[in-house]
Amino acid sequence: MFGIPDPAIWVGYLLALGFTLACLVYGLLNWNNGVEGEQDGS
Amino acid sequence: MAVDTGLFVAMTLVYLVLIIGLGYLGYRRTKEDDDYMVAGRKIHPVVLALSYGATFISTSAIIGFGGVAAQLGMGMIWLTVLNIGLGIFIAFVFFGKRTRRIGHKLRAVTFPDLMGKCYGSSFMQYAAGLVIVVGMPLYTAAILIGGAQFITSTLQIPYTTALIAFAAIVALYVVLGGLIAVMYTDALQGGIMLVGMTILLVLTYIQLGGVIEAHTALAGMSNLVPDALVAGGMTGWASMPAPGSSIWLTMVTTLVLGVGIGVLAQPQLVVRFMTVKDSRALNRAVLVGGPFILMMTGVAFTVGALTNVYFYQTDGLIALAAATDGNVDTIIPNFINASMPDLFIVIFMLALLAAAMSTLSSLFHVMGTSLGFDVVRRAGTGKATMRPIRIATVVMIVISVILAFVMPGSIIARATAMFMGLCASAFLPAYAHAMYSSRPSLRAAKMSLVTGTVAWFAWTAFVHVKESAALGLSNLLFGVPAVLSAPWQDVDPLVIALPLSTAALLVGCVLDRHEVAADSEESAGAA
């Protein structure tokens, strides 16, 4: 995948991209959550 | 780097004017202790994200770790996985929100202050402050060395002048403007870094004929790995080292785990969670922080490994052979200098300068507040105000500069990993316990902090041969550079000290529960 033969490397790239995507999605979904006084959810 | 010095000087002057301007803005907005210590708790989420990221990513990550990727290959991408997964997502969502809420409630202004107030213990505050005051100058000196080396090679000025001028400029706005100045300048520096790294990635792939082509060429170079690295377990630049080999242990335990986990308990990062007014700001910062870190370490490690393809195609050399005097820290600068257009070299130089300055300013600030607020005040000099904290900041800066003159030049990546490992071993279990327990056990926290710190120092001084041989304590006391043989001497101190620190926390919690249960039984018996 991506010209990289070792799965241990391209899985790393996929996970790095996946976590980045998770950050984007989380930020968008919670854009207006967490104003002082509301529950934080963590 | 050989570049149009006039252009670089002109752009650097513009950059410095902007930095001093933002520093002055921070100074004007710093009216009270809270402003100086936690930026008045009202920082914008984008400023938070860029400041967190720019502090997180120093020249170590770009030059030092990029150089390591050029030497050891793309396996370093696993550090990016941890940087984003743990360093951003878990840090902000699972630690950041609680840190902000608890820190705000307890009016904590530093990481040691947060620990002290969570546990109701001056010991925790003093001990955490002491670990920072003793351990952080090492990391700070490494950042100073990286910055000064870079300025020296760019502007062709003496190393001593570069180091002192670099420290003095950063010191000016940190001492006067506190955390507001630090975070404002961080945000600008983070923006410059983002532009620089984005251009670097794109130009590198264009230079090498495309993404797949570049990776395929790198994978095809495995037969060029030097014999010494093959003997250490390296299998190629597009594959992981052989599991269990010394290179695998160094890559996985020191570089990936040491730095990847260590970031969760970095005092200069934790304090940033307390600079925003609500959790919404943290949610928004996650959106900026994840992509930012991907574009920093992900690009540095990828381009680092791919420099092998460039140097092989142009000079018939692998990257290590193209390094100046065998120093891996020179690989990325040499690559940029050889392959990129002049204008980009200048932009990238500014990005490196920004990376060094943003991390340095945060470390100066944390060391100063730890000494001036947590350690000295706890030793009984009365209530802390900005003046003694500013004096303490100057003292810590001077100590770091002196250390930078005596430490070896090729220590950037290692010193970063060491400090992150120490922070995780000493602080992480107690910090997590404080954030997630309604009644955190002081005994457990003390046991964890002391065990983690002692275990980390012991393993560093007597077992992990890369440090123990240099420190010489093991040789002095036992006549050998490391008291244990391979593979143990390749295992990073964090891998030993963090589990021990966690175990000590659990034992402390169990002991506390037994005591509470025994007390309850006694009370019931007496009744």
In angstroms, the CA B358 to CA B466 distance is 28
The closest alpha carbon to B233, from B219, B220, B244, belongs to B244
Residue B324 CB contacts under 8 Å (≥ 6 apart), including other chains: B330, B334
pLDDT tens for each residue of B223-253: 999 999 999 999 999 999 999 999 999 899 8
Helix (H, G, I), strand (E, B) or coil at B518: helix
User: Does any CB of chain B come closer than 8 Å to the CB of residue A19?
Assistant: yes
Residue of A nearest to B236 (CA): A6
In angstroms, the CA B45 to CA B273 distance is 10
Contact in structure between B344 and B203 (CB atoms under 8 Å): yes
In angstroms, the CA B70 to CA B93 distance is 33
Block residue for tokens 């730890």: B370
The closest alpha carbon to B170, from B305, B365, B378, B449, belongs to B365
List residues of B whose CB lies inside 8 A of any A CB.
74-75, 77-78, 80-81, 84-85, 88-89, 93-94, 97-98, 101, 211-216, 219, 236, 238-240, 277-291, 293-294, 298
Confidence of residue B510 (pLDDT cuts 50, 70, 90): very high
Q: Please tell me the predicted confidence (pLDDT) of residue B86.
A: 94
Residue of B nearest to A25 (CA): B287
Q: Which domains does chain B possess?
A: 5-15+40-424 (1.20.1730.10), 441-527 (no CATH)
Task: Take residue B502 and report the two structure tokens written for it.
Answer: 């966690």
Task: Give me the long-range contacts of B216-219 (CB less than 8 A, separation at least 24).
Answer: B216/A3, B217/B309, B217/B313, B218/B74, B218/B305, B218/B306, B218/B308, B218/B309, B219/A3, B219/A4, B219/A5, B219/A6
* Facing B89 at nearest CB: one of A19, A30, A36: A19
Confidence of residue A42 (pLDDT cuts 50, 70, 90): very low
Confidence of residue B349 (pLDDT cuts 50, 70, 90): confident
* Facing B93 at nearest CB: one of A9, A35, A42: A42
Least confident of B275-289, B378-392, B415-429: B378-392
What ipTM does this complex have? Answer: 0.90
* Facing B81 at nearest CB: one of A15, A31, A38: A15
Cα angle B388-B389-B395, degrees, rounded to a multiple of 5: 90
In angstroms, the CA B327 to CA B338 distance is 17
Q: Please tell me the predicted confidence (pLDDT) of residue B448.
A: 96
The closest alpha carbon to B125, from B372, B359, B432, belongs to B372
Helix intervals (H) in B156-256:
159-207, 211-219, 227-231, 246-249
In angstroms, the CA B472 to CA B479 distance is 9
* Tally of CB atoms within 10 A around B269: 24
Residue B395 CB contacts under 8 Å (≥ 6 apart), including other chains: B368, B371
